[in-house]
Structure formats: C-alpha cells, structure tokens
Structure 1
Amino acid sequence: MNPPILTLTAPAKLNLMLRILGRRSDGYHELQTVFQLLDYGDTLTFTHMNDGAIALECPGVDVAPENNLIYQAAQLIKQTCGDHTLGAHISVRKVLPAGGGVGGGSSDAATTLLGLNALWRSKLGIDTLAELGRQLGADVPVFVRGHSAFAEGVGEHLTPVFITPRWYLVLTPDCHVSTGALFSDPRLTRDSAAITLAALRDRRLDTRWLDEYSGNDFQPLVENLYPDVRMTREWLAQYGQAFLTGSGACVFASFDSEAAAQNVLAKRPAGWRGFVARGVNESPTHRQLAKFAASI
C-alpha cells in the first residue's frame, strides 16, 4: 500500500498597509498591518513515513535543514505530538522570492504545520497550531489561521477581515533586504498613529478604505538603502499606486482585472521578475485541506 500523500499551496501575502507605532521594552516593535492573502505560492508535497525521520527536498534553496523553517516546523509539531514514529518526506517547489516580503518562509512553515497535522491525523486545534507558528515567526500565525487579517502587536493579534477582491502585480528587485538592519536603523519611522478597530468598518475593507490607509513605514528607508527597490516601485507607479510589501524587496500594485495586471507585467524591463495573483480572503491551503479531510 502506498503511503498517504498530501500536496498543498503555501500562499504569498501582501501588506496592504503597514504602520510602526513604537518600540517595546523588549526591543520588538508594535505594528499594525493588513495581510492580504494571494492565490499564488510555493507547493509543498508531504508523504507520510513511519521511520520517525523528517526528510526535506527543497531544490534551489541553499540552507541547511536545521535552519529551514519547514524542517523546524516539522520537528516542532512532531515534538508536540509526542510520537517518535511519525515521519515525513517533504518536497518543495519554490516560486516565492526569499526576503521579498511576501511571506514565503512563514507560509511554508505554516503549511507544514497544517499539512502534517492533517497527514498524521494529529487532531491539534487551530489555536494550538497558531501558537506553534508564533514560536517560528511573527507572520506564521496568519497563514495558519488562513484568512486575510488586520494584525497588531508584532503581528500576532489577528482580526479577520474581508477585502474587496483585486488582482495584484508583484515585482521583485534583484536585491535582498535585511529586516534586522531595518528595525535597528535610527532613521526608521516609529511613531505612526494607530488605526482603531472602529475604522475597520465591520471588518470589510473596500478600495476606498485601502486608499485612505495605504502605505508602508518601511518604504522610505528601504528605498534609501536599496536603490533598485525605488527604481522598481517608480516604474510600477506609472500604472497605478505602487507600494513596498512587508520589510522585503517586493513592490506591488493592484488592478481591476487579471488582464490589466498581465499587460503591465509583460511591459516590465528585461530581466525583471514578477508574478500576477488574485487577492483572496480564504487561504487556498485551507480549501485544499478541507478536500483532503473529505477524501479520507
């Protein structure tokens, strides 16, 4: 009998707005952001093994397994389950850029927690999985919970929101932005005004709301330190409002249709990388997990 196999999408995210409210006594920063999930991402395939080993196959990623968030997530959920016989072979097809600010590593980690929980039939609840995710990184819980969200704190306090669907063009400059260096830079804005929950308007964020609150406090500093990011955003701004996402290098703009976004992507300068994706409120991972659960 062939071992059970589960294939899941680890979706990208965009930060449609990001404000830094201040620095906490523990050194972390208080943030507010809107996470928009996309219908595009890495692909992870999990094969259930009974040898107790976690084997990771991730072509093109030159990172030792113990430093890979996928491997760390697999070991963490295995330890939580307390069954030394649980094992898995995990193969990854990467399409999301590392250090791009689209959440590739965090999404891969969350998808590993969700996927192995389903494959091993561990029956860990979503709150438990989200807490495991928080131990791996501040952006992991939003992917575990699987819904676009308004986030506060360091990104762990999540309020699900419904965002008017749009198509997004994401461009990746040829540089790697250091998040640690940004947070320690004295030029970083740290005193933005907080958005109240009342401003969420029944948790439905339409285009007017996003236009009013859009922006990213990291953007001026990143563009100062990384001229390629500024050049890419300014090129994209010819076709619509363009912003940095997260604390990475990627920039994005929204469009009314896939055709409009693809048209601009086709015009990008030679050698530039990018992709078009649709914003979704529910993660594709969760839809795939529901189908898997119904099939067993």
Structure 2
Amino acid sequence: MIYTWLSPVKINLFLYVTGIRENKYHNIQTLFQFLNYGDTLKIIPNKTGKIQLFSKKKLLENKENSIVCSAKLLKAKALSYGRIDANHYGAKIFLYKRIPMGSGLGGGSSNAATTLIVLNKLWNTQFTLQELASFSLKIGTDTPGFIIGKTSIVEGIGNILHPIKRQEKWYLVVYPNIHISTKQMFSSPFLMSNTSKKSLKSLLKLPFSNDFEYIAKKKFIKIKKLISMLSSYAPSRMTGTGSCVFSEFNNKKSAQKIFSLLPKNMQGFIAKSVNISPLHKMLNKKKYLFYK
C-alpha cells in the first residue's frame, strides 16, 4: 500500500476583501488555482491512538501544527458521529516541506486538507468531501478549497465555492525569503475592506488584482521591486496574503527563460496549473486501496 501523498500549493489569481462580519472575519472573493507542486506527506495509520508528526524542520513538530490539529479534529468528529472508536486510531505522519511558510501559497491549509482527506480514507471514517470541508474551517479559511480540490471562485470566509474550469497555464513562482503573517495583513490599518462585491462573470472579465499587494509593497521594498521586475516580462502579482509573487505564461519554456534571468539567490519554482487538485487525482487512481 502506498502512503505518500502530495499536498499541493495554490495561488490566488485575484483576491478582494469585500467586508467585515460582526465576528471580525472578513468576506472575500478570490480565484483559487491549484499548481502541480507542493509538500509531501507520508501518512501511516495505526491503532496506538497517538498522532505523531515528524519533519526535518523540528519547529513544525508541535501540537499546534495544522496537520496535528486536523487529525485530532477528524478523530473528534468521527467519535461524535459514532463512526469509529476514535480513541484507538492514530497515525505517524512524515512531512517533507517544500512550501515556504508565510508565502501565500496555502501550505498549512493544504497540509491540513491532505491529512483530513487521506486519514478519512485510511481510518474509514466515511465523511464526504463536503462534510470535511464544512468542519475544516476550524483549521483555516483556505482549507475547504483544498478539500474540494477544484479551481474555484471562493466567497464568504472561504466557505462558498464555485468550481470553474480555466485554461491551464504555466507559472513562475518566486519567494523573496520574507515571511508574512496572514493575521497581520488582515489587521493592517492600510487594508481597505470595502472592495465592491461583483458577479462571477464580472470577476472573470475584469483585470485581476490583489487587495493585499498594496500593503506588502508599502511594507517590503523587496516585494515591490520583485513585482515590478517580473511585470516587465509577464502578468505578475502577489498571491494570497503572503510574499510569493507569480508570473503567468502560456508555456513552460517561456517561464524557464524568465527564471534564468533572475538573480541566482532567488528561490522559486515553475509549475503548471491544474483544474483538479493533484491530491484528488492521486486518490482517484488509488481508489482501490480504500474501497475493498
């Protein structure tokens, strides 16, 4: 049996903040695009009742990690639904990290979603993707998008998804070695939280932008210079609330050419966009592993 799974990245092709709720959560409209690149999780189930996380980055091996939190959440939900004797279910999880933290690529949410989806299969807790997505909001507002696993326009606080299909492109994603806290970005005094909400058709026709890019440029001159440099070659924006900047190309060769022009100390990668999460494609191919 194969236990190793991809935990893919996403980029936000656009991101708008359209208001603040009474509970201080922000309403958004964003276009959630998967790339064929990400972390790797090796998940081995057992009946010790323990959730153990291992990583070369020891800082990640803590009880607050989204992987540990999501596994414990799944156990609690399964127990409350009478699905399993959850106290006896455990797992050893090995995280091989490639997604930078605070980069806007959704690494923590993706790790959580992969954990929920795969353990739901391995433990046979039998929740639907919609059920997993619903209670995954406790982990993070990006997590439902990773669980549903389709290119989507996302609204509300991340809980309303409208799957769409887009032409697949190639993306150069550059990490300027800056960690940006999502919480700090949403609490910034420079965030304008009143971008007008638009229809789905209008969102796809208008030029794409990111409401957090202004804040990042104002605070980090390195990000401002990176966006300016990449924009001279191809459409380029910051993703999410993090620091990564992406450029869009019609083919891999064009992306590689621009990557070769960047300073040698720039971290980055080239990946193709996909309309279905790479994790879901893996699950579909290996369905026989879980439904015997």
TM-score (norm 1): 0.92
Structure 2 letter corresponding to 1:233: I
1:13 is aligned to 10
Instruction: Determine if the alignment matches structure 1 residue 62 to structure 2 residue 81.
Output: no
CA distance in 2, matches of 1:197, 1:216: 16
Distance 1:61 1:231, change over 3 A: farther
Instruction: Determine if the alignment matches structure 1 residue 118 to structure 2 residue 121.
Output: yes
**Match for 1:214 among 189, 196, 208?**
208
Give yes or no for contact 2:16–2:210 (8 Å, CA) kept in 1.
Answer: yes
Give yes or no for contact 2:54–2:61 (8 Å, CA) kept in 1.
Answer: no
Give yes or no for contact 2:50–2:90 (8 Å, CA) kept in 1.
Answer: yes
CA distance in 2, matches of 1:64, 1:178: 19
Can you list the C-alpha shifts for 1:94-140, whole angstroms capped at 9, x where unaligned?
11110000101100000000010111122111121112211111000
Structure 2 letter corresponding to 1:230: K
CA distance in 1, matches of 2:142, 2:229: 28
CA distance in 1, matches of 2:282, 2:188: 41
Structure 1 letter corresponding to 2:68: Y
Instruction: Determine if the alignment matches structure 1 residue 143 to structure 2 residue 146.
Output: yes
2:83 is aligned to none
1:30 is aligned to 27
Tell me the CA shift for residue 154 of structure 1.
1.5
Tell me the CA shift for residue 197 of structure 1.
2.9
Q: Which runs of 5+ in 1 are unaligned?
A: none
**Match for 1:133 among 122, 133, 136?**
136
CA distance in 2, matches of 1:76, 1:191: 34
2:235 is aligned to 241
Two-structure CA RMSD over aligned residues (Å): 1.4
Can you list the C-alpha shifts for 1:253-294, whole angstroms capped at 9, x where unaligned?
100101111121122112110011111110111111122222
CA distance in 1, matches of 2:58, 2:104: 17
Instruction: Determine if the alignment matches structure 1 residue 153 to structure 2 residue 156.
Output: yes
CA distance in 2, matches of 1:155, 1:81: 23
Give yes or no for contact 2:53–2:61 (8 Å, CA) kept in 1.
Answer: no
CA distance in 2, matches of 1:223, 1:199: 26
Tell me the CA shift for residue 199 of structure 1.
3.3
Greater displacement, 245-254 / 225-234: 225-234
Give yes or no for contact 2:32–2:151 (8 Å, CA) kept in 1.
Answer: yes
CA distance in 2, matches of 1:180, 1:79: 27
Tell me the CA shift for residue 64 of structure 1.
4.5
Give yes or no for contact 2:17–2:211 (8 Å, CA) kept in 1.
Answer: yes
Equivalenced residue count is: 284
Distance 1:172 1:85, change over 3 A: same
Give yes or no for contact 1:55–1:89 (8 Å, CA) kept in 2.
Answer: yes
CA distance in 2, matches of 1:12, 1:186: 28
Structure 2 letter corresponding to 1:161: I
Of all paired residues, the percent bearing the same amino acid is 36
Structure 1 letter corresponding to 2:34: L
1:259 is aligned to 253
CA distance in 2, matches of 1:64, 1:41: 19
Deviant stretches of 4+, over 6 Å: none
Structure 2 letter corresponding to 1:216: N
TM-score (norm 2): 0.93
Instruction: Determine if the alignment matches structure 1 residue 42 to structure 2 residue 39.
Output: yes
Tell me the CA shift for residue 58 of structure 1.
1.6
